[in-house]
């Protein structure tokens, strides 16, 4: 029997931009051992499989993730559109994640609260792997920080958007330094509350990601902690421009400890998979 897969672009309001996602919105009859091969066959940064009870499993082409932002937001939009509703709570490997959609179709997810820890390796090795020069580093000397909200992220604050835009990382060195974590590099833009981000996860089979929802929440937490943003203020994060997949994410670190990330989702197509 053919199995339907819907294609959506996440964290964008324009088709063929943002971050691609494949959603098997009813994976009940798909054998579990085919989840990983199907994700590899499709080749997007993530593919999701929805099971009874709104349980969602998330796969990159190389591994399964307990939680990821754009797969949760995109999957939630597929399900709410099919059901004619404006809210759903997805059961992820990191616990329940509620997602609500407003009248425009923009969704907001309440993410797992990230756990922070210091970057464990010499900072100079990370700078070299990223290709950051001394004058590219933030003048306040903000140290890299590791955040875990299911996936693990290293956040590096750069001095300027041009430093982020011009990054040419050594992906092999970066994968060796952070095999289980992606690295996000951020800089403030001229507009208040607006930031430019690039994200690299070669250890997870993703050289560069056009929109990283699971990073956006910890990023808001980190920027507030460093005095670069205000708690309760929605930030605007631009990502993916260097890849030709411009994306916009809206994370907020709330004063009560909640972490939310909002964004748009557009439908671009569907496919049917079958096998003997």
Report whether 180 contacts 120 (CB < 8 A).
no
46 is catalytic: yes
- Please tell me which residue in 29, 32, 41, 46 is annotated as part of the active site: 46
Report whether 116 contacts 147 (CB < 8 A).
yes
Q: What angle do CA 12, 22, 244 make, to 5 degrees?
A: 40
Strands 87-92 and 64-65: unpaired
Instruction: Calculate the alpha carbon distances from 265 to 51, 57, 250 in Å.
Output: 21, 19, 13
Q: For residue 72, count other CB atoms closer than 10 A to its CB.
A: 29
User: Smallest Cα–Cα separation from 250: which of 242, 239, 241, 81?
Assistant: 239
Catalytic annotation, residues? 46
């Amino acid at each position: 029997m053919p199995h339907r897969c819907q294609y959506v672009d996440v964290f964008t309001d324009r088709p063929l931009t943002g971050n691609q996602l494949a959603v098997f919105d009813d994976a009940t009859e798909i054998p579990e051992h085919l989840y990983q091969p199907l994700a590899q066959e499709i080749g997007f940064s993530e593919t999701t499989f929805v099971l009874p009870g709104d349980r969602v499993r998330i796969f990159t082409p190389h591994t399964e993730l307990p939680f990821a932002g754009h797969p949760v937001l995109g999957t939630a939009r597929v399900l709410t559109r099919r059901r004619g509703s404006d809210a759903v709570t997805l059961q992820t490997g990191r616990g329940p994640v509620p997602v609500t959609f407003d009248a425009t179709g923009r969704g907001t997810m309440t993410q797992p609260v990230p756990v922070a820890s210091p970057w464990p390796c010499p900072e100079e090795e990370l700078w070299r792997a990223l290709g950051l020069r001394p004058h590219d580093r933030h003048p306040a000397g903000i140290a890299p920080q590791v955040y875990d909200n299911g996936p693990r992220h290293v956040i590096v604050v750069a001095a300027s958007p041009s430093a982020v835009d011009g990054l040419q990382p050594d992906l092999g060195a970066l994968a060796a330094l952070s095999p289980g974590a992606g690295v996000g590099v951020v800089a403030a833009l001229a507009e208040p509350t607006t930031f430019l981000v690039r994200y690299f996860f070669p250890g997870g089979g993703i050289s560069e990601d056009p929109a990283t929802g699971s990073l956006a929440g910890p990023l808001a937490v980190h920027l507030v902690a460093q005095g670069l943003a205000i708690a309760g203020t929605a930030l605007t994060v631009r990502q993916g421009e260097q890849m030709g997949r411009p994306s916009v994410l809206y994370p907020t670190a709330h004063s009560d400890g909640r972490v939310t990330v909002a964004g748009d989702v557009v439908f671009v197509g569907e496919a049917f998979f079958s096998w003997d």
